[in-house]
Amino acid sequence: MSKLITKLLLPYVALLGFIDPVHAEGIVTDLSKHEVAIRSNFTGADILVFGAIERAGDSASTGPADVVIEVTGPETTETVRRKDKVSGIWMNYEATRFERVPGFYAVLSSRPLENIAPASLLKVEQLGFNNISFGKAWSSVLGGEENLRTPDEVAPFSTAILRSRAKDKLYVADSNGVVFMGDTLFRASIPLPASVPVGLYTVKVYLLRDGHVVDAISSPLLIAKSGVERVIYRFAYGQPFLYGIVAVLLAIFAGWTAALIFREH
């Protein structure tokens, strides 16, 4: 694997000798693949992110360089409900709706994030589970009128999302996920579970030094259904009413066929 990565990075490394010393330090990166096809036998995948640091002047002596890789999936609206006992009956008492919840989120770094940058920078760049923004949050009690809430007011609900997604391996954090091979080459493997949502992803690679972002590069990653699964997926989301009718008819036909088979036996 290391030989393959080194071979892929040779064109980038060759360019390092031509960098103008007065230019800022930067990085070059790429992905092992920019599209993942999901078929019926899909059990997950790993995306390799690799790159090289472009050294400039005596920047190596000012402090250690760190790399942070962030992967965000398509955003969706999600509602979290909290049960409570009302008049002796347990029911969905309060519901909070978040407008922008990433379907997938991964952050991998060469060291723990708190050792790489100050909390203020991590919050601005939204790096780490505690800094993910779910957009505006609206809460309602017993199905009543929704009201806009602050992040602190809905903290238990956002924490529930983080806990649930982490359990399903849809939210991943690895403080040792970025591995350096020498002084300039680095790589990281992004694990994608079988339940990963389809859509357009963004892979962003940060180069940090002395607690500051020196450079950042974004790359697209497309995860899409393929083959028969793609046809069914488009049909289900493009024509939901017709899809529902077809699904019911198929269920009736399957039940009728099963009844005939058992009757004959």
The CA-CA-CA angle for residues 221, 226, 227, to 5°, reads 165
Mean pLDDT calculated for residue range 165-184 = 92
Exposed, middle or buried by CB within 10 Å (0-12, 13-18, 19+), for 141? middle
- Per-residue model confidence (pLDDT) at position 251: 73
pLDDT reading at 17 higher than 70: no
Q: Which tens digit of pLDDT belongs to each residue from 148-157?
A: 998 888 999 9
Q: Which tens digit of pLDDT belongs to each residue from 25-66?
A: 889 999 999 999 888 788 999 999 999 998 765 544 456 789
0.85 exceeded by pTM: no
**At 153, is the secondary structure helix, strand, or coil?**
coil
Distances in whole angstroms, Cα of residue 224 to Cα of each of 36, 41, 144, 163, 172: 6, 14, 38, 26, 21
How confident is residue 16, by pLDDT bands cut at 50, 70 and 90? very low
pLDDT reading at 91 higher than 80: no
List of residues 6+ apart from 150 with CB closer than 8 A: 137
pLDDT reading at 192 higher than 90: yes
- Per-residue model confidence (pLDDT) at position 24: 64
C-alpha 229 chain-centroid distance: 22
Cβ(48)–Cβ(187) below 8 Å: yes
The percentage of residues in the chain with a pLDDT greater than 70, rounded to a whole number, is 75
Q: Which tens digit of pLDDT belongs to each residue from 208-225?
A: 988 899 999 999 999 988
